[in-house]
Chain A
């Protein structure tokens, strides 16, 4: 191998070619530097920077007036105003409260219901078609009824969030229980598990990895729905902030609310992802 390379260099016609090749490699160096820079910087910073630039550029082009599309600076000033007035905290807290309440309610009722449906084939056969019927009805379609039943305030919004996350949770929990390997149940029978141990030592830990995934997904859905629900049924929350600001022609506030919704969504997802990396769940990602 080494000898062959020496020979190639010794051939006069080829030496020029190798030299030019070396020159070209040297010419690539700045690109390599760039790649190295990209590898070390979180790329999200770059892409968010690009979006910010694009946003500013569109505003500068003047396609829409500043009243319709405020620039990044105007949005930042609006954010500051919202923060100082306390509205930012108030609306964010209101939205988070509703999501938390509705989501916990859905988890508290949906996971046990899913376990029952997954474990008892008879219950599954009876209830599953009903769930499949209700599932495609958007939670937003329930808004008129929810407002009539629960009035104005937190309750209808919480109800809608509950609906939005309940059905996916039931379905995925039931599927997870149904998919637990038969061998595990035989081991449980062999070691004389009590009813409680069947739940605590087998079913619950066995479904935890896939339930964590569906918790993450349904929390995302809940966050989507809360904003929509707040546009109609209540007088606080980030969804209300959007509608209220539109009516006041404060498009900077509208954009700020959107930015907040996105940021909080990312944080909620990160929290769930963090939980999904815990010791109790990790085996599911690496095991069968």
Chain B
């Protein structure tokens, strides 16, 4: 198998650059949400992201943490090119992000598999322009094997469990060999063990393929175990509260590494959880 580029140049610093990103939504609800608190009126702009700066190096796993509704998913969608109504500068590899691209694959929070296609069809989605059908089939099989789903080509998504569906989506994303992988809370809705296994799976894939992964999560453990860098958001309008490179050795274990445990305590505090952990 030949997944990793052996002759790849040194990872580029500042691979993804976000500068002074501002994003506002227009209030679409006519009914007041809560009469106790002043809420925006219909048609008023609500500032979501207020001058966000982020730098991400090539090959890093970056975990974006923040309270719900703080705009982390919005940020991810903007960097991935799905949302272009913002001010500020967003670029990947020196090029301004103009729209979604097969080089930047987004893994959706709920399954993004095309339900009418088989697993093989889904994984081959990014390879559909390949002329050599046999080579394409082989590549699909390789990536399915990579996520432990060898032989599931002819199954339909509805025949798979939730965890298997996520793995198929990972395989589909990896198969196009993207520059960046975006993941929006990729482990939600999985049971505890499946969650742990998926986390391991993503880390193994990253170890192997060294793709830049930008992941939004609300799970502090996930961020501390997986992240080469964590970015923490505050409440709306959102600014970056903390951006930090994590240079802890892997595999990481919060309970045995006192520095990591201390960082976890700080992160919990930062996110408004005060009781002992």
Report the interface size class on chain B.
20 to 34
B 93-136 contacts with A by CB, 8 A: 99-102, 104-106, 108, 110-112, 114-117, 125-126
Closest-by-CB residue of B relative to A280 is B116
Known contacts A190-B106, A192-B102; A283/B112 CB under 8 A: no
**Interface of chain A, main secondary structure:** helix
Q: Is B156 an interface residue (CB 8 A)?
A: yes
A-B interface contact total, Cβ < 8 Å: 57
Q: Is the CB of B112 within 8 A of A189?
A: no
Q: Answer whether A287 and B157 are a contact pair too, CB < 8 Å, given A183-B112, A186-B108.
A: yes
Say if the beta carbon of B82 comes within 8 Å of chain A: yes
Query: A283–B102 contact, CB under 8 A?
Result: no
Measured between alpha carbons, how far is A192 from B128 in the docked complex, in Å?
Answer: 11
Q: Which of B82, B104, B115, B176 has the most CB of A within 10 A?
A: B115
Query: Which of A115-123, A167-175, A199-207, A214-222 lies on the face that meets chain B?
Result: A199-207
Nearest A residue to B109, CB-CB: A183
Determine whether B86 belongs to the interface, using a CB cutoff of 8 Å to chain A. no
Chain B residue with minimal CB distance to A190?
Answer: B100
B125 touches A191 (CB 8 A): yes
A288 at the B interface (CB under 8 A): yes
Closest to B126 in A: A191
Within 8 A of A (CB), among B231-274: none
A189 touches B158 (CB 8 A): no
Are B158 and A184 closer than 8 Å at their CB atoms?
Answer: no
What's the minimum C-beta distance from A26 to chain B, rounded to whole angstroms? Answer: 47
CB atoms of B116 and A186 under 8 A apart: no
A5 contacts the other chain (CB 8 A)? no
Provide the bound-state CA to CA distance between A139 and B270, in Å. 68
Which B residues are CB-close (under 8 A) to A208?
116
The reply to whether B115 and A190 form a contact with Cβ atoms under 8 Å apart is: no
Complex-state Cα separation, A280 to B114, whole angstroms: 12
Determine if A201 and B100 form an interchain contact, defined as CB atoms under 8 angstroms apart: no
Q: Is A21 an interface residue (CB 8 A)?
A: no
Q: Chain B residues near A184 (CB, 8 Å)?
A: 112, 114
Contact of B108 among A183, A189, A282, A283 (CB under 8 A): A183
**Chain B residues in 8 Å Cβ range of A205:** 114, 116-117
Contacts of A186 in B (CB 8 A): 82, 100, 106, 108, 112
A137, CB-defined interface residue at 8 Å: no
B118 CB, nearest partner CB in chain A, Å: 9
B110: chain A residues at CB < 8 Å are 183
Determine the distance from Cα of A28 to Cα of B80 in the docked complex, in whole angstroms.
70
A286 adjacent to chain B (CB < 8 Å): yes
Specify the chain A residue showing the minimal Cβ separation from B77: A186
User: Known contacts being A206-B116, A208-B116, is A283 close to B106, with CB within 8 Å?
Assistant: no
* B176-197 contact mask (Cβ, 8 Å, vs A): 1 or 0: 1000000000000000000000
* Residue contacts A-B, CB under 8 angstroms, 15 given: A183-B110, A186-B82, A186-B108, A187-B108, A187-B112, A189-B99, A190-B102, A191-B125, A191-B176, A201-B117, A205-B117, A284-B115, A286-B156, A286-B159, A287-B158
